[in-house]
Structure 1
Amino acid sequence: MPTDAQLLLLDAGNVAQLMEPAKVFEAMKRAFTLHSQREGRVFPVVREQLHTGGVFGIKSGDIPRADLLGFKAAGFWPNNRSVGKEPHQATILLIDPHTGRPVCLIDGNTITTVRTGAAGALGLTLLARPQSTSLCIFGTGTQARIQLSFALRYMPKIDRVRYLTALGQPDEPFEEEFGGLCALAHARDADAAVSASDIVVTATPGFGPLFSPAAVRAGTHINCVGADTKGKRELPEGLLRRSRVFTDDRAQSRSIGEGQWDVECLATEIGDVLTAKVQLTRDPEDITVFDMTGLALQDLVVAEMLLQLAEAKGQGSSLAWSW
């Protein structure tokens, strides 16, 4: 067996050039379908607090039939903001499952952002009422922006958006980005904004409940993005019991997502809706919740797609990697 090999490096610039939202949306369908069919495996998640104030995690898995194996090392470093850098950091490594040799090292920040936005859009198209016209979003950061961008792309009837910020002040860059795409308004009263909206998206650091349970009216759909670590939450006590709950992974939701606050709450995996293991009939009065904790399979299928595109287009940098 030859000992010389190449390790392909795809930096943030390469990823940005290769990433296409529509293809990522289709990749999310594939990831959740594989998970439902148990053709893709998700290994136990590592998620730990660091002495530096950051949070470090590893999400890993494989798709045996595709010869795909890898992991994402990622986390949240809030102090990065003080030096003008993004607090979310992620790196993905694809590995040859036959030899253990590293094949491709990829900047994971954009992948994480876009695949989460695409997963949110998939949740909306499957679970929200098709006639939904109004949306309330908590947060104006990177993830809030991608969630709203995908929501407007895949739910074209949305024309009114209310947004809330941590400090209660308008976000001018956010308004410049989205003000021309919808009737955008800054809201200070969380309960009023929620009760006036068909769809609610929570994309915050998850430090605690964002609104009261009474604010959620019948027929509302909620995408929950921020709860991805033990102790984090965005939803109020008791809401899950009033709702039809959907997750990317039941066990992971109960461990690090909104499900950790009500482990007895029944939940359906979104992949089972895609594969028709679960026949979804949505009553107009149903409150639906999609708890998004993020699966390794989402990262792996997008990373595989980028690797194939990079090889076809001759992008990235190769390093000799003897083994």
Structure 2
Amino acid sequence: MPNDAQLMLLNRDAVEPALQGEQVLAAVREAFILHSQRAGRVFPVVREKLHTGGVFGIKSGDIATQELLGFKAAGFWPGNRAKGGEPHQATVALFDPSTGRPLCIMDGNAITTARTGAAGGLGLQHLARPDSTKICLFGTGVQAKVQLQYALRMLQERCTVEYVNVSGEPDPVFEAAFKERCSISVARNRDDAVAKSDVVITATPGGGPLFDAASVQPGTHLTCVGADTTGKRELPDGVLQRARIFVDDQVQARNIGECQWAPELPCTEIGDVLAGKATVGRSKADVTVFDMTGLALQDLTVARFLYRNALEKATGIVVAWPW
């Protein structure tokens, strides 16, 4: 058996600088299209609550034509905030599908953030009204920040943003990150903010409905990030019933996404839109929802270019990993 096998390790400091926006968008788009074509497989998701109060999950899959196999072990540990750490934790691993040997283990936090932001941006680009200029954002954490970054990148006009946070008070640090790109302020009334918006982005832990259903006006697009586990939700009853629903994966959305609360409703996978198999054809009065639960293929296509980049530039930590 070979004794000279090696394993590459990519920590946060190696991963974060390599996550360039255009490459992430291209990788996520490819993942959605591969999923639409069923050229990439998504294996059943593991998502379990722990005795510690955390949630642990595994998303895995493969792309046979690209010799790509791997998984992401990730979850949410709310107690990390008290320790000065990020509640979301993730690790990605790539394997040689011919031998089962690990090729690379990398920090998955930045990957999850970037690929989810890119997915939300792609959905918004294809589903929101092109003339959208008013955004209501729920959350000010890592995922809320990246969703807003991609939203501002995708929308054509300068936007006005109202954000909803826990305190209801202005967050100068959060505002400073965006004040050069948009007009931004804290929302004094969340329902009023939703009613005035063209785009609503929900990026919270998914603890319950965030606003009244009646506040969603015709023509609104909603990007929903926080429902990724059984029992989680951000939308109130009645919104999905009025909307044209788009998802990253129908099975996942109905099991752990917003669609778990209305699994009988029809929905369209965003990959079918990107692959040209489905059309949006939105009218100005349509309410659209993008229910995002996250695909393993997104993690794999992003991890692949990071691994290749590290091999080319010799930026990873290589350790002996004999058989």
TM-score scaled by structure 2? 0.99
The gaps in structure 2 that reach 5 residues or longer are none
Which residue matches 1:4?
A: 4
Cα deviation, 1:222-261, whole Å, max 9, x if unaligned, reads 0000000000000010111100000000000000000000
Which residue matches 1:91?
A: 91
**Secondary structure of 2:75's match?**
strand
Which residue matches 1:268?
A: 268
Matches of 2:298 and 2:279 in 1, distance apart?
23
| CA-CA distance at 1:178 after TM superposition | 1.2
Kept in 1: contact 2:158–2:181 (CA 8 A): no
Give the partner amino acid of 1:166.
V
**Secondary structure of 1:178's match?**
coil
**Secondary structure of 2:232's match?**
coil
Which residue matches 1:62?
A: 62
Confirm or deny that 1:224 pairs with 2:224.
yes
Which residue matches 2:112?
A: 112
Matches of 1:94 and 1:290 in 2, distance apart?
28
Matches of 1:179 and 1:2 in 2, distance apart?
55
Give the partner amino acid of 2:164.
L
| CA-CA distance at 1:3 after TM superposition | 3.8
Kept in 1: contact 2:14–2:316 (CA 8 A): yes
**Secondary structure of 2:39's match?**
coil
Cα deviation, 1:35-84, whole Å, max 9, x if unaligned, reads 00000000000000001110000000000000000000000000000010
**Secondary structure of 1:281's match?**
coil
Give the partner amino acid of 1:6.
Q
Confirm or deny that 1:285 pairs with 2:285.
yes
Kept in 2: contact 1:56–1:74 (CA 8 A): yes
| CA-CA distance at 1:169 after TM superposition | 2.0
Matches of 1:8 and 1:262 in 2, distance apart?
43
The gaps in structure 1 that reach 5 residues or longer are none
Cα deviation, 1:13-39, whole Å, max 9, x if unaligned, reads 000121101110111110000000000
| 1:191-270 correspondence to structure 2 within 5 Å | 191-270=191-270
How many corresponding residue pairs? 323
Poorly superposed stretches of 4+, deviation over 3 Å: none
Kept in 1: contact 2:131–2:156 (CA 8 A): no
Give the partner amino acid of 1:70.
G
Kept in 1: contact 2:25–2:115 (CA 8 A): yes
Matches of 1:188 and 1:143 in 2, distance apart?
22
| CA-CA distance at 1:284 after TM superposition | 1.0
Kept in 2: contact 1:132–1:158 (CA 8 A): no
Matches of 1:279 and 1:127 in 2, distance apart?
10
% identity of equivalent residues: 59
Which residue matches 1:152?
A: 152
| CA-CA distance at 1:300 after TM superposition | 0.2
RMSD (Å) for aligned C-alpha atoms: 0.9
Which residue matches 1:51?
A: 51
TM-score scaled by structure 1? 0.99
Cα deviation, 1:93-139, whole Å, max 9, x if unaligned, reads 00110000000000000000000000000001010011111111000
Which residue matches 1:18?
A: 18
Confirm or deny that 1:39 pairs with 2:39.
yes
